[in-house]
Chain A
Amino acid sequence: MDRADVGALVQSAVDGDAAAWKALVEGLSPLVWSVVRAHRLSDADAHEVYQTVWFRFAQHLGRIREPEKTGSWLASTARHECLKVLKSLRRLTPTDDPQVLDRISEDRTPEQSFLDLEEAAADRERIRHLWQEFEELGERCRLLLRVLMASPPPSYQEVSAALGIAVGSIGPLRQRCLRRLRARLEARGAA
């Protein structure tokens, strides 16, 4: 989301404008979700952390020093909460977390209807392969790309806050990771 817009929406929300709050949720939810998913929590933990982040944001609304940097604030809060959950002892028991790919077969999301369309079969295959190759990338690339693919695309400041890495290292790392992903897709196509 555009920083100036975010700053203005935060100000309106502070003044009690529920529609502005909703617009913030719509615009920044995918970023928060991407950060949480990038950290590979179980589904249950991912849902809880996402909620904690928004509850904390609602609580701190009006107290955030640089409202235009709300995206970075949310990304950083999500990251810290993810790391904490991963660290907490009771979470050491491995949970049965179904692979994201399995969800294609579940009849739940509105996107499912799109995937069911006959004419979308080729797209479906392509997306499935892309996702599979993405999931098999190394840890660092998977983390970075999962955050970068938030919609709308996050700023590098937000990515930096989400991953705790310097802004300057994002560009080169991104190229490296996308190059690897492309190589994997090409190798797959050739096989």
Chain B
Amino acid sequence: MDDMSDINGEDPDDIEDPDDTDDLGFDLLEEELRQAAGILDPVPAELRQIAVEAFALHDLDARIAELTFDSVVDAIPVRGAVDVPRMLTFHAGGVTVDVELTAQGLMGQVLPPQSARIEVLRGPQAGAPLTTDDMGRFTYGEPPAGPFALRLRTGEGVLVTDWLTA
């Protein structure tokens, strides 16, 4: 009965011949699924439009400050803690931007300390303008939700942080 062990191990859903490799039939079924998705779960038109307008974010002159730390993936979760701030760090060249997201809003610091003008971007449109203090610190009183990035104008030029979903 040893040769039956494979059958016993089969998933009950696989009631058909497991050697069934009916490629044409599978292709047709996949195509039917594609049609169904196009009808029941298409890309929402307003989202497509937002993506078209996102071309305005194309800016080869700005340097990208890459996300190098995100507490959502890089930190140990705090058990039982409610409303833990999300900590983010971005790097571009010699500049570091540390950001903390809380339910109250956004706090951050540009390092080495320097004054900079900052925009909180939510999409292709201009964002809310902020100015850092002399230590490079800044706050924003609205909790970001959804896609966001920061655009910084420093003495050395324009930096934009990687986009992420708050």
The distance from the CB of A87 to the nearest CB of chain B, in whole angstroms, is 6
Whether A127 lies near B147 (C-beta < 8 A) is no
The distance from the CB of A129 to the nearest CB of chain B, in whole angstroms, is 10
Q: For the side of the interface on A, what is the size category?
A: 35 or more
Whether B30 lies near A148 (C-beta < 8 A) is yes
**A18-B55, A58-B55, A59-B160 are contacts. A25–B44 as well, Cβ < 8 Å?**
no
**A48-B147, A81-B165, A146-B37 are contacts. A54–B50 as well, Cβ < 8 Å?**
yes
Residues of chain A within 8 A (CB-CB) of B60 are 14, 62
Whether A134 lies near B33 (C-beta < 8 A) is yes
**Cα(A134)–Cα(B36), bound, Å:** 10
Instruction: Name the one of B21, B41, B51, B64 contacting A37, with C-beta atoms under 8 angstroms.
Output: B41
Taking Cβ atoms with an 8 Å cutoff, the residues of A that contact B are 13-14, 16, 18, 21-22, 25-26, 29-30, 32-34, 37, 45, 47-52, 54-63, 81, 84-85, 87-90, 100-101, 103-104, 109-111, 114-115, 127, 130-131, 134, 145-146, 148-151, 153, 174-176, 178-184, 187
Known: A29-B51, A103-B40, A148-B30. 20 other contacts (CB 8 A): A13-B58, A14-B58, A14-B60, A18-B55, A29-B43, A32-B43, A33-B43, A51-B47, A52-B163, A54-B51, A55-B123, A59-B163, A63-B64, A84-B73, A89-B84, A100-B40, A114-B39, A149-B37, A178-B26, A178-B30
